[in-house]
Amino acid sequence: MKSPAAPPLDEPRKFEIDEMFFSTTDRRGVIQLGNEIFVRVSGYSEAQLIGSAHNIIRHPDMPRAAFRLVWSRLLAGQPVVAYVKNCAADGRYYWVVALITPIAGGFLSIRFKPAASLHDVVQKAYADMRAAERALEGESDGGRRGMDAADEILAAALRAYGCADYETFMRVVLHQELRGRDEQLQREGRRIIPLWPTDALPAGPAGKNGRVPARGLRRRTPGHLAILPRRATRPVPSRFRGPKRPGFRLCPIASLPAR
């Protein structure tokens, strides 16, 4: 069972750039499984997490509209990428990039530490969204007007950044965050190991652009997980592209200490 939540603190809960954690839930959002990193960073015990709603780690600074967007996509059978500010058991916060995708009987959420400047843009947008929601909390419509106002703020922030819609934003997030993750690990003197080197990609039919579909990677490499939405083979707009990386464009990476 969930213990009483500590008051939110303006202090981050630390975890490393190369740590990736995950959890699975049923279709109601009740936690079924999580890895050791999720347990440690959340500050809750495994017994407290399993069987609790995933909002056990919800931070009050998160806009309701952001979760409405996430749930609308998931219940439509679509994956979603979002920045999320979580609240640990001790009240400290931690930001993650979350990729959530439908699976049999529920949802899988994979999270890692933000490393791109886009995160700063989203933090400002979320603060404005939450302020708009709070300004309309007294309404008798269950907060719908506040969330609608927050949606407009988010859409305007994305357009100002150059993303015409949320689909484009998700592709840009993954592209920039994985690149930023690589760059930070390199600054720390670690070697970057592509999960699927170019010469190790599974054999099979490629798409029009020569890329092996993400679906094939998942099927042929059961011991690994590609953090790719179904439309990940769609190109990232040229203005957001950086230097080309070896291997599959959006493969997650692992790291080892420099020799």
Question: What structural domains and CATH numbers belong to the chain?
Answer: 20-112 (3.30.450.20), 190-257 (no CATH)
Residue 6: is its pLDDT beyond 90?
no
Please tell me the predicted confidence (pLDDT) of residue 205.
44
Q: Judging by beta carbons within 10 Å of its beta carbon (0-12, 13-18, 19+), is residue 243 exposed, middle or buried? A: exposed
Give the H or E element holding residue 194.
Answer: strand 190-194
Per-residue tokens: 193: 């190991």
Range in 94-98, 217-221, 240-244 with the lowest mean pLDDT:
217-221
Residue 220: is its pLDDT beyond 50?
no
Any residues with CB less than 8 A from the CB of 238 and at least 6 apart, and which? Answer: none
Residue 258: is its pLDDT beyond 70?
no
Residue 246: is its pLDDT beyond 70?
no
67-76, long-range: CB < 8 A, 24+ apart: 68/147, 69/151, 69/154, 69/166, 70/100, 74/100, 74/102, 74/107
Q: What is the mean pLDDT of residues 148-168?
A: 96
What digits encode the pLDDT tens for the residues 21-34? 999 999 999 999 99
What predicted TM-score, i.e. pTM, was given to this entire model?
0.75
Beta strand segments in 70-189, E: 80-87, 93-103, 106-112
Please tell me the predicted confidence (pLDDT) of residue 61.
97
What digits encode the pLDDT tens for the residues 170-205? 999 999 999 999 999 888 887 665 554 444 444 444
What digits encode the pLDDT tens for the residues 103-134? 999 999 999 999 999 999 999 999 999 999 99
Residue 158: is its pLDDT beyond 60?
yes
Q: What is the mean pLDDT of residues 141-152?
A: 93
Confidence class for position 257, pLDDT limits 50, 70, 90: very low
Q: How many CB atoms lie within 10 A of CB 41?
A: 22
What digits encode the pLDDT tens for the residues 206-216? 444 444 343 33
43 neighbors 90 (Cβ within 8 angstroms): yes
Residue 244: is its pLDDT beyond 80?
no
Alpha carbons 121 and 125: distance in angstroms, whole number: 6
157 φ/ψ sector (left φ>0, alpha ψ -120 to 50, else beta)? alpha
SS3 84: strand
What digits encode the pLDDT tens for the residues 25-64? 999 999 999 999 999 999 999 999 999 999 999 999 999 9
What digits encode the pLDDT tens for the residues 66-102? 999 999 999 999 999 999 999 999 999 999 999 999 9
Please tell me the predicted confidence (pLDDT) of residue 5.
67
Per-residue tokens: 244: 């080309």
Q: What is the mean pLDDT of residues 225-235?
A: 41
